[in-house]
Amino acid sequence: DYLDDLEKFTAKTKEKSDDEYWQIADAYLKFLKKDYKESTEILEDIKTSNPEYLEQIKRMKVLNDIVSQPKIDAEYEDHLMKDYAEYFVEKEVKKDSTNTDDYDYYGSVPSTADFLKDVLANRYFLQAEDGKSFLMNNKLSDLQYNPNSSLVKSVEDFYRKPNKTQFEQQIIAKNMDNVGNIEAFFATIYGDRAMRTADFEKAKSYYQKAQNFTGIPREDYEKYNPSTGKYEKLVYTGTNYDGFNNIPDYVFGHNVWESFESPDDQSMENENYTAFPFIKPKMNKLQLADALIQLKKIGNGKDEKSAKANQLIGNLLYNTSILGYYRQIFVMDIDNSNGGKYDFWQTEQKNPYQYYYKNFLDKSFIEPDNFDLAINYYKKALNLSSNKEEKARILFQMASAEQGKYYQYEAKNQANIDYSDPKWSEKTDAHQKEMDNIKNQKYRTYFALLKTQYANTETAKNLMGSCSYFGYFMK
């Protein structure tokens, strides 16, 4: 309606005014109404010598041309480079370094080139060319922040595409920045995803291709060092975790208490690995996948060793989930510091981006954990074990994984009550009561078993002291 009113206003005004501005405004309104043909026709008829108007007319013709194109294909990309290259080749903006008065509080104004890139990023997005859409607004290394496997695959497909057009080479591929060994970079991401789905054989096949991985490309990252009191740049020394190497055997252990900030030897405790000599104090991801394959084979037996093997697999899957101390291991992160990768809001396997991948870091685009994978291995361990203390520990681990399932359910079932609602407090309390009932009825299965059948074990008594929630539940 507003556009119609504006059109009527500009139509009347341009009849009375000799200023070509109103004709340009009329063409712009046609553009906003997606009548690109008429918009272009109006622009073609404008006669002016005003340099600002001429530039605006030229830019609008480009916009009409691009947005009216049914499909951005190789032929059209050649047309873009032939006729509109100036809008896509970035120019260095020189500023007077002596002028410190003009502080830019709001950021730079988007240029025509920025707008055109956004338009093309959207078109590629709609054409399901996600890799090209992503690279219009992001660097290859940005995949580390949201390593969604389907998006990564699309970016890799573009990387491997033969006979790229000039536009693809000069405008899109220039954002394929240095990530070290690119083959290893992709293989590590795929291997990580396979590990999160408990497909250890597939993970091993990818990690075999990732042995030249040079580290997560976090060149500008600084972390606070409490021993020096300073923020220090991340350096891969060969002894610290770099995204592939130096994973401690605590990853097969269990929490002593939940503290992501504490060192692993304070937060974690190892299980007894005596029967599993292939579990080394420090492992790379290839060795880790191989250890899991061996544990899986042992877990097919019927004895206590088989029970322990299944428990260790369950521990690793839980410890590397969003709730685990080693949650960073399979999501291309360098440590377990809190951030967007570790929330439950993105619990559905769908794309949170609606138009393109601009502002890629503002959303979480990582496939959610499947806590049932850990629970199923724990179930095998529980059924095979005859040690009551071990069974109590396994049940507590199962309860922790089940808590993750509840958090996912909770994130998908928010109250969404308008704060202006006069009964906001009453409705919010009612919703919370309903959620508490669901939690106790459906997501406390293993806590309940632990309470009714293993409350007298030393393990349960110790857990009541280290886990306040469990202590409250056991009352």
Q: What is the pLDDT of residues 119-165, one digit of tens each?
A: 999 999 999 999 999 999 999 999 999 999 999 999 999 999 999 99
- In tens, the pLDDT along 258-273 reads 888 888 999 999 999 9
- In tens, the pLDDT along 293-331 reads 999 999 999 999 999 999 999 999 999 999 999 999 999
In a domain? residue 203: no
In a domain? residue 429: yes
In a domain? residue 92: no
Torsions phi, psi for 255 (to 5 deg): -65, 135
Distance CA 203, CA 154 (A): 19
In a domain? residue 179: no
Range of the domain at 404: 222-474
Task: Using 70 as the pLDDT threshold, list the residues of the chain that sit under it.
Answer: 1, 90-110, 346-349, 465-475
Distance CA 435, CA 432 (A): 5
- Domain termination residue (choose one: 68, 94, 120): 68
In a domain? residue 421: yes
In a domain? residue 36: yes
> How many independent structural domains does the chain possess?
2
Q: Is 100 helix (H, G, I), strand (E, B) or coil?
A: coil
In a domain? residue 261: yes
Q: Which structure tokens are listed for 367?
A: 């496939």
Place of tokens 């989930």: 321
pLDDT of residue 90: 67
**Helices 388-412 and 304-319, axial angle in degrees (round to 10):** 30
In a domain? residue 293: yes
- Domain termination residue (choose one: 14, 48, 68): 68
Strand pairing class (222-225; 230-233):
antiparallel
- Domain termination residue (choose one: 68, 88, 104): 68
The whole-model pTM stands at: 0.89
